[in-house]
Structure 1
Amino acid sequence: MPQLSAHTAQQTALSADALNLLKRLIATPSFSREEEHTAELIAAFFLEKQIPFERLRYNIWAKNRHFDPAKPTILLNSHHDTVKPNKSWTLDPFNPLERDGKLFGLGSNDAGGCLVSLIATFVYFYDRPDMAYNLMLAASAEEEISGRDGLELLLPELPPISFAIVGEPTEMQLAIAEKGLLVLDCTAHGISGHAARDEGDNAIYKAIQDINWLITYQFPKVSPTLGPVKLSVTIINAGTQHNVVPDTCTFTIDARVTEQYTLEEVIETIQANIQSDVKPRSIRLKPSSIPADHPIVKAGVALGRHTYGSPTTSDQAVLNCPSLKCGPGHSGRSHSADEFIYLHEIEEGVDGYIRMLEQIL
């Protein structure tokens, strides 16, 4: 058998380390806001590798050995929290089971495989003295609930970031844009009256007029990667009894916003065109993107990856820098019963991240 090169041997060892860490993470429950023990596992991994790290609540981050404040910094980020297992699981979600070339377990695909692959990549480059960029690894909490004590809490503690690679399952394809999320609570106002007589002003009918506008309106600017802004009415409530004309009707809009608009612009457009009161729950989860000609995107394309726009929301939403979403695993397995990741996907994740970064570092 031919001897492995030092380069390949190191990556093989790092992939094995990544797999072992992932198994320990799966075996340790880490629901959002309950990530203390997985944070301890990641900290222990860095201690074992003799890599200094810092911790803020359940977020762990580390810098490369030769960090130079004069150089731009690349952030490698993924999360270690998980959703709760649904009732359709047939396996133990906390038992990291290897079978048929797969690793089963809660968080294996979303986003444990991405996280451990990024950690292995960070370790690979940690000692390199001659890089054009600094590297920083952040294992963050509360991503699954878009919580404020995850990456958003950590960002003020970090140096300026030139761009970020956010690890989410994309089959190592390049999500160069991601829709932002805007949730709007709306209230249509009418006048109460008796349903049997011609009294009152039905708030439901006013809400229907507004909802019809939401159904038919199209924002004129369309994203080349994400398509149009998407507005969906997902909740509606009105009325107390059958013979009373309701004086209020509440409904909720789920707005998926592209990089063509700010969240504030979308709110202003809706407020100007419907009668109902409009109250945003939050304007934190912004659309994000990275130019198609950015060096890290070109590096991925050179490896045969394709670019696309992602409809789902991740920790990219709280970043204020260009960011690329990319990682091993398949988005369709996320939050599913008997979640798994293929073993070869972890190896390909480590190799893919390293090969992309080598072209620019």
Structure 2
Amino acid sequence: MTDTLTTKAIELLKKLIETESFSSEEDKTATHIEHWFNDQNIPYKRTKNNIWATNKHFDETKPTLLLNSHHDTVKPNNGYTKDPFKAIVENGKLFGLGSNDAGGCLVSLLATFAHFYDRDNINYNLVIVASAEEENSGENGLNSMLSVIPKIDVAIVGEPTLMNLAVAEKGLVVFDAIIKGTPSHAAHPNNDNAIYKSIRVLEWFKNYTFKNASEALGEVKMTVTQINAGKQHNAVPADVKLVVDVRVNDRYSNQQIVDILQKEAPCDRIIPRSIKLNSSSIPIDHPLVIAGIEIGRSTYGSPTLSDQAVLTCPSLKLGPGDSTRSHSADEFIFINEIEDGIKIYIKLLEKVL
């Protein structure tokens, strides 16, 4: 049975690769996933471009485990040498946009869900969500499903981790900052040039250290990623605009980061775009983590963001593929990573279900 599920999972991934599914444009890949559920004779529901299902013997008296991964992708970058929308297999690698992030994880979780779908007398209910709009943190993604699906007690979020256990994940706050000065003609003296003032501000962002480091996630990482000022060569602008990317560890809430920067950053104004993408984690003594360690998987803290950020329950990030390949040119996943991923997911769940 597992071999058949694995074969069908890889066939589905090839179809997903060859179907454009940019964030908020995933309707066609959602239809492919519907066809897969039909082929497995598993009832499902579709909410916009999110496809979800529960196990056959769902019992409201039991805790519920969410299996989740996404089927949207970023747009291909200009470095591709292969067709990003063609599933190409070479030397054991399956190339194509979304193969690694996170198509391999999604189809592996779908196969795992199908494996356990009609299992009776298990300790957890299972809910699977093939979600949309992960890459752009859109309003119609997993966050929109939490009021639709049954209440979740714990989650496995499928993202490429080399099938190791990401027991914590950094959150994200993006800030828009402004440094104000006095506008003037470039030919006249000006001791309040916003561009020159920005030098000191940029140094402050470069050197600032948040006090609380995390055992799993290390320090909060703050990076100025964009700067914009001026429109013509002979005019000193009135202000300089910065974009600041802050990756938040589990020692701070996003609101605490906002409070600190609004108090201490030497800007005239610094405003968060959103504070909803918080850090996430799972206790190291949670049965899922213990089970993963027992089957030989290592633990680590992940610096990258996923749909874990919208969950309030404990969550574990785990999936086939390598995060360093995500959003890269000629993205790929090894076929054997999918095969092994399904086996490891099943082995893990066998220990807790």
TM range (shorter): over 0.9
The amino acid that maps onto 1:329 is G
Q: What residue in structure 1 maps to residue 90 of structure 2?
A: 99
Q: Cα offset for 1:200?
A: 5.5
Q: What residue in structure 1 maps to residue 284 of structure 2?
A: 292
Deviations 1:249-289 (A, max 9, x none): 21111111111101110011011112420111111211111
Q: What residue in structure 2 maps to residue 232 of structure 1?
A: 223
Q: Which deviates more from structure 2 when the two are superposed, residues 176-185 or residues 328-337? A: 328-337
CA contact (8 A) 1:207 1:276 kept: no
Q: What residue in structure 1 maps to residue 250 of structure 2?
A: 259
1:121 pairs with 104, 112, 131, which one?
A: 112
Q: Cα offset for 1:241?
A: 4.1
User: What is the rounded CA distance, in whole Å, between the counterparts of 1:207 and 1:41 in structure 2?
Assistant: 50
The amino acid that maps onto 2:156 is I
CA contact (8 A) 2:177 2:267 kept: no
1:307 pairs with 284, 291, 299, which one?
A: 299
Q: Cα offset for 1:68?
A: 1.0
Superposed CA RMSD: 1.6
Q: What residue in structure 1 maps to residue 166 of structure 2?
A: 175
User: What is the rounded CA distance, in whole Å, between the counterparts of 1:191 and 1:342 in structure 2?
Assistant: 56
Q: Cα offset for 1:71?
A: 0.8
The percent identity for this pair of structures is: 56
> Are positions 1:355 and 2:347 aligned together?
yes
The amino acid that maps onto 1:92 is D
Deviations 1:217-258 (A, max 9, x none): 211110111111011111122234455443312111111111
Q: Cα offset for 1:186?
A: 0.6
Q: Cα offset for 1:206?
A: 3.6
Q: Cα offset for 1:87?
A: 2.6
Q: Which deviates more from structure 2 when the two are superposed, residues 330-339 or residues 143-152? A: 330-339
Q: What residue in structure 1 maps to residue 179 of structure 2?
A: 188
Q: Cα offset for 1:86?
A: 2.3
The amino acid that maps onto 2:292 is G
Q: What residue in structure 2 maps to residue 165 of structure 1?
A: 156
CA contact (8 A) 2:153 2:313 kept: yes
Deviations 1:192-215 (A, max 9, x none): 345554445222344333332222
CA contact (8 A) 2:93 2:335 kept: yes
Q: What residue in structure 1 maps to residue 335 of structure 2?
A: 343
User: What is the rounded CA distance, in whole Å, between the counterparts of 1:211 and 1:269 in structure 2?
Assistant: 17
The amino acid that maps onto 2:329 is A
- Where 1:164 maps in the other structure, the secondary structure is strand
- Where 2:147 maps in the other structure, the secondary structure is helix
* Count of matched residue positions in the alignment of Structure 1 and Structure 2: 352
Q: What residue in structure 1 maps to residue 145 of structure 2?
A: 154
The amino acid that maps onto 1:95 is K
Q: Cα offset for 1:99?
A: 2.3
- Where 1:256 maps in the other structure, the secondary structure is strand
Q: Structure 1 regions of 5+ residues with no counterpart?
A: 1-9
User: What is the rounded CA distance, in whole Å, between the counterparts of 1:194 and 1:293 in structure 2?
Assistant: 64
The amino acid that maps onto 1:281 is R
User: What is the rounded CA distance, in whole Å, between the counterparts of 2:231 and 2:83 in structure 1?
Assistant: 44
- Where 1:135 maps in the other structure, the secondary structure is strand
Q: What are the within-5 Å matches in structure 2 for residues 1-150 of structure 1?
A: 10-150=1-141
Q: Structure 2 regions of 5+ residues with no counterpart?
A: none
Q: Which deviates more from structure 2 when the two are superposed, residues 140-149 or residues 232-241? A: 232-241
The amino acid that maps onto 1:341 is I
- Where 2:352 maps in the other structure, the secondary structure is coil
CA contact (8 A) 1:206 1:275 kept: no
Q: What residue in structure 1 maps to residue 209 of structure 2?
A: 218
User: What is the rounded CA distance, in whole Å, between the counterparts of 1:185 and 1:178 in structure 2?
Assistant: 23
TM-score, scaled to structure 1: 0.93
> Are positions 1:326 and 2:318 aligned together?
yes
Q: Cα offset for 1:158?
A: 1.7
- Where 2:219 maps in the other structure, the secondary structure is coil
